[in-house]
């Protein structure tokens, strides 16, 4: 073989290797950055008749100049002042494992068709992991086709797979463009002009008779990991308290100020408010599991006052007991089967809500997948208690009681959604619905009073 032939063969080999490498890189790029939609059964996504109308801020008959409102009209044009039906979905975790995505998605769509809600709230960790753009668009299009209004507060997992997924900003920007999505993309400001931290901080008022506010619904961004926060206050406190990369963020002082202003401005003539966030408050750790064999700590009591304190079983073995901090009460048989993964820092939000308790119904969050506890401070019982409520995790992707070793069956334990019925007097009913028993919703709160 002469020199020219050797050079030609070498060149061909190099070209072939380059072509193979480029092809591999293109395949990787498509896999990492390309669309990754969910397997939606669009035949199930059906139009739901509704009499709900959205009033822009400052519009005729909207009592607020700053916030949107929802109102319902009867066929004769009169105001429909019956109870509002609101569904809360949380932690659906629509990721890349589409076999389970399909189950979770079908269950959610079936629930919406069955319940026919007036409004849907999503309390975070819905579109997660890489390649989320297509899934985020699909989520919005599902609600558009079903003709239902909805609002969203970001979880800690939205945007946490950067640069291979949507940023938190992009999530809000995409959804805010859809007519039925009420989450707002603008930066809020307090009355003194201070910019409010977070994305998607939004107020939606539900109106009843005479265009009066039945419920002021406030949505706030509770952040992700505190070390990722683009906020000087959070980073300073994290440094002072020695927070590490795994510690969760907290509501900022600007958010607390804005929240207080919104409650006072919108909750007049007996109206009350509900706060929706993703990460629970520190006070929600006032109920927890006492592992079997551990002594009852001072200042705590057994949640279930029976002879055996109603132990939590794993097969034939005792796993532990539900205990509650003194001064607090647990609603019914709700509970937390894991630690409360709240922030390392107490922002003071609960104390603020307590100070405003005549205008506050409670807080509704997600984040902890096998907790459905509802707790309230005993001192406020019968006097406008502020309920701290976990929603019901709806995602089949997320860990359950089985993976935590609390159940010996990998079933739908604590999987489902919550139903919130808002009444004209601003009180509310709260029901848990489990997917393995959809015909028997469990009443937790009725007309603002906790159920035993």
Mean pLDDT of 108-133: 93
Q: Is the pLDDT of residue 177 over 90?
A: yes
So what's the pLDDT on residue 6?
62
Residue 452: what pLDDT? 84
Task: Return the higher-pLDDT residue of 39 and 149.
Answer: 149
Percent of the chain's residues with pLDDT above 70: 92
Tell me how far CA of residue 82 lies from CA of 69, 85, 301, 334, in angstroms.
16, 9, 40, 28
Going by pLDDT thresholds of 50, 70 and 90, the confidence category of residue 4 is: low
Q: Among 112-121, 146-155, 161-170, 315-324, where is mean pLDDT lowest?
A: 161-170
Burial class (CB in 10 A: 0-12, 13-18, 19+), 295: exposed
Is pLDDT above 70 for 146? yes
132: closest CA among 81, 101, 167? 167
Sign of the four-CA dihedral 324, 92, 442, 387: positive
From CA 137, how far away is CA 130, in angstroms rounded? 14
- Neighbour-count burial of 225, counting CB atoms closer than 10 A to its CB (0-12 exposed, 13-18 middle, 19+ buried): middle
Q: Is the pLDDT of residue 32 over 60?
A: no
Predicted local confidence at residue 321, as pLDDT: 96
pLDDT band at 165 (very low <50, low <70, confident <90, very high): confident
Residue 27 has pLDDT above 60, yes or no: no
Provide the mean pLDDT of the chain.
91
Show Cβ contacts of residue 293 under 8 Å, excluding neighbours closer than 6 positions: none
d(CA 164, CA 427): 44
- The per-residue pLDDT for 129 is 75
Name which of 88, 57, 52 is nearest 262 in CA terms. Answer: 57
For 37-75, how does the pLDDT look when each residue is reduced to its tens digit (9 = 90+)? 888 999 999 999 999 999 999 999 999 999 999 999 999
Model pLDDT, residue 10:
67
Q: Of all residues in the chain, what percent are helix, strand and coil, respectively (each to 5)?
A: 30, 25, 50
| 426: CB partners within 8 A, 6+ apart | 214, 215, 270, 271, 272, 361
- Convert the pLDDT of each residue in 198-246 to its tens digit: 999 999 999 999 999 999 999 999 999 898 888 888 899 999 999 998 9
Residue 448 sits at the vertex; the CA angle it makes with 356 and 350, to the nearest 5 degrees, is 30
Is the CATH code 3.40.50.920 the one for domain 45-450? no
Query: The pTM is what?
Result: 0.92
Higher pLDDT, 320 or 17: 320
The pLDDT tens digits of the residues spanning 363-386 come to: 999 999 999 999 999 988 888 999
For the chain, give every domain's residue range. Answer: 1-33, 45-450
- Asked if 287 and 325 count as a contact pair (C-beta separation under 8 A), the reply is yes
Render pLDDT for 245-264 as a digit per residue (tens, 0 to 9).
Answer: 899 999 999 999 999 999 99
Residues with Cβ within 8 Å of residue 99, at least 6 apart in sequence? none
């Amino acid at each position: 073989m002469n020199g020219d032939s050797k050079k030609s063969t070498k060149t061909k080999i190099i070209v072939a290797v380059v072509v193979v490498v480029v092809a591999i890189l293109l395949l990787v790029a498509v896999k990492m950055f390309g669309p990754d939609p969910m397997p939606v059964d669009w035949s199930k996504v059906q139009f739901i008749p509704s009499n709900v109308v959205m009033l822009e801020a400052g519009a005729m008959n909207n009592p607020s100049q700053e916030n949107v409102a929802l109102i319902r009209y009867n066929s004769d044009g009169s105001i429909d002042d019956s109870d509002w039906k609101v569904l809360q979905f949380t932690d659906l975790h629509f990721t890349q494992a589409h076999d389970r995505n399909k189950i979770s998605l079908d269950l959610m769509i079936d629930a919406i068709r069955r319940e026919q809600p007036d409004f849907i709230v999503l309390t975070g960790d819905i579109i997660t992991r890489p390649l989320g753009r297509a899934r985020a668009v699909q989520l919005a299009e599902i609600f558009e086709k079903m003709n239902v209004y909805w609002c969203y507060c970001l979880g800690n997992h939205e945007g946490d797979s950067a640069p291979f997924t949507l940023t938190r900003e992009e999530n809000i920007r995409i959804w805010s463009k859809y007519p039925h999505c009420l989450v707002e993309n603008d930066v809020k400001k307090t009355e003194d002009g201070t910019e409010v931290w977070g994305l998607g901080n939004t107020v939606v008022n539900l109106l009843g008779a005479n265009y009066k506010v039945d419920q002021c619904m406030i949505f706030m961004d509770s952040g992700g990991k505190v070390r990722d926060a683009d906020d000087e206050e959070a980073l300073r406190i994290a440094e002072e308290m020695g927070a590490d990369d795994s510690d969760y963020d907290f509501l900022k002082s600007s958010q607390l100020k804005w929240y207080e202003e919104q409650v006072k401005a919108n909750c007049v003539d007996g109206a009350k408010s509900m706060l929706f966030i993703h990460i629970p408050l520190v006070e929600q750790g006032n109920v927890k599991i006492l592992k079997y064999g551990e002594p009852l700590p001072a200042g705590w009591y057994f949640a279930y006052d029976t002879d055996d304190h109603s132990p939590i079983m794993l097969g034939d073995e005792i796993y532990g007991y539900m205990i509650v901090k003194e001064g607090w009460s647990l609603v019914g048989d709700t509970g937390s089967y894991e630690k409360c993964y709240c922030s390392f820092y107490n922002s003071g939000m609960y104390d603020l809500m307590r100070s405003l308790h005549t205008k506050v119904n409670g807080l509704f969050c997600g984040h902890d997948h096998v907790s459905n506890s509802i707790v309230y401070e005993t001192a406020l019982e019968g006097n406008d208690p502020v309920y701290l409520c976990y929603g019901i995790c709806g995602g089949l992707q997320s860990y359950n009681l089985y993976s935590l070793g609390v159940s010996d069956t990998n079933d739908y334990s604590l999987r489902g959604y919550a139903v919130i019925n808002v009444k004209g007097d601003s009180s509310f009913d709260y029901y848990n619905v489990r997917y393995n028993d959809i015909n028997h919703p469990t009443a937790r709160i009725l007309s603002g009073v906790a159920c035993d």
